[in-house]
């Protein structure tokens, strides 16, 4: 969602669809570095964007996923597959992207707000444990690599994780501590989760991708110090994120 407060002084917005080559071309004028997010479920529509990037030749920083398995022929689920395909597309185009592979964003918890306004239970599909990362740290890491003068950074992906590996139950309990409420996570079956998301109006393809992720994505059970190496500060905890965002859940 776009920031309703508008751009900060000295910042100019160019608003457009990532799949619209003309909009991308216009946005790239005078730009020397790009932080690329590709939130689509297919990499095919990115070909025109990559053509525009090659022509404009900026530094490209791509936000990917720690769930990529570099040894696997196919990734665990469609969302991770798109990131693997995008990394390959950017690399094969000669763009030498700097890749930030992020673990699960803390901001996903915002999706629980409607349930928590109605009661003390968060229910949803269970997911493997992940090293939940504060999206503010991901943004700071992205700024660090975008602004690096000479490039001291190699082209190996940076693995951005939070400081601890958490289950959904852990996250809901930490959120409860921040809200001073006793909250609990209740896992539902894939069928229940699917029909709820469809009833909420989510596109079927996205729903299937999310269900596949919940069922097939393996646990990401290790943390890294890459946030600290890039930003100079240790990664923030989910408990801190929960305190800072408590007002959004009441």
Ligand X SMILES: NC(=O)c1ccc[n+]([C@@H]2O[C@H](COP(=O)([O-])OP(=O)(O)OC[C@H]3O[C@@H](n4cnc5c(N)ncnc54)[C@H](OP(=O)(O)O)[C@@H]3O)[C@@H](O)[C@H]2O)c1
What does the per-residue mask of binding to ligand X show for 85-124, with x meaning CB under 6 A?
-----------------x-xx--x----------------
Distance CA 43, CA 22 (A): 18
Q: Which stretch binds ligand X (CB under 6 A): 15-23, 46-54, 113-121, 211-219?
A: 15-23
Binding mask 26-55 toward ligand X (x if CB under 6 A, else -) reads: -----------xxx----------------
Pairing outcome for strands 121-125 and 158-160? unpaired
Number of residues counted as binding ligand X (CB under 6 A): 14
Instruction: Report how far Cα 22 is from the mean position of its chain's Cα atoms.
Output: 26
Q: How far is the CB of 162 from ligand X (least distance, A)?
A: 11
Quote the least distance from Cβ 219 to ligand X, whole Å. 15
CA distance 173 to 57: 46
Residue of 36, 79, 99, 142 that binds ligand X (CB under 6 A) = 79
Alpha carbons 61 and 102: distance in angstroms, whole number: 12
CA 225 to chain centre: 18
Q: How far, in Å, CA of 49 to CA of 155, rounded?
A: 21
Please report, as ranges, the residues that interact with ligand X according to CB under 6 A.
1, 17-19, 37-39, 63, 65, 79, 102, 104-105, 108
């Amino acid at each position: 969602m776009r920031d309703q407060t508008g751009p900060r002084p000295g910042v100019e917005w160019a608003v457009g669809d990532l799949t619209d080559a003309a909009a991308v071309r216009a946005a790239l004028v005078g730009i020397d570095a790009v932080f690329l997010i590709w939130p689509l479920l297919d990499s095919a529509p990115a070909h025109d964007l990559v053509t525009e990037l090659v022509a404009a030749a900026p530094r490209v920083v791509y936000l990917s996923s720690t769930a990529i398995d570099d040894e696997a022929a196919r990734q665990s689920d469609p969302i991770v597959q798109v990131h693997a395909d995008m990394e390959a597309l950017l690399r094969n185009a000669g763009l030498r992207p700097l890749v930030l592979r992020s673990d699960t964003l803390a901001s996903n918890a915002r999706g629980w707000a409607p349930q928590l306004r109605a009661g003390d239970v968060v229910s949803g599909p269970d997911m493997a444990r992940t090293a939940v990362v504060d999206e503010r740290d991901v943004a700071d890491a992205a700024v660090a690599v975008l602004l690096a003068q000479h490039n001291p950074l190699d082209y190996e992906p940076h693995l951005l994780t939070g400081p601890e590996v958490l289950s959904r139950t852990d996250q809901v309990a930490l959120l409860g501590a921040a809200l001073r409420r006793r909250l609990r996570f209740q896992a539902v079956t894939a069928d229940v989760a699917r029909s709820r998301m469809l009833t909420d109006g989510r596109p079927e393809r996205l729903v299937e991708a999310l269900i596949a992720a919940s069922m097939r994505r393996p646990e990401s059970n290790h943390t890294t110090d890459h946030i600290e190496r890039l930003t100079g500060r240790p990664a923030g905890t989910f408990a801190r994120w929960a305190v800072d965002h408590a007002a959004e859940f009441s």
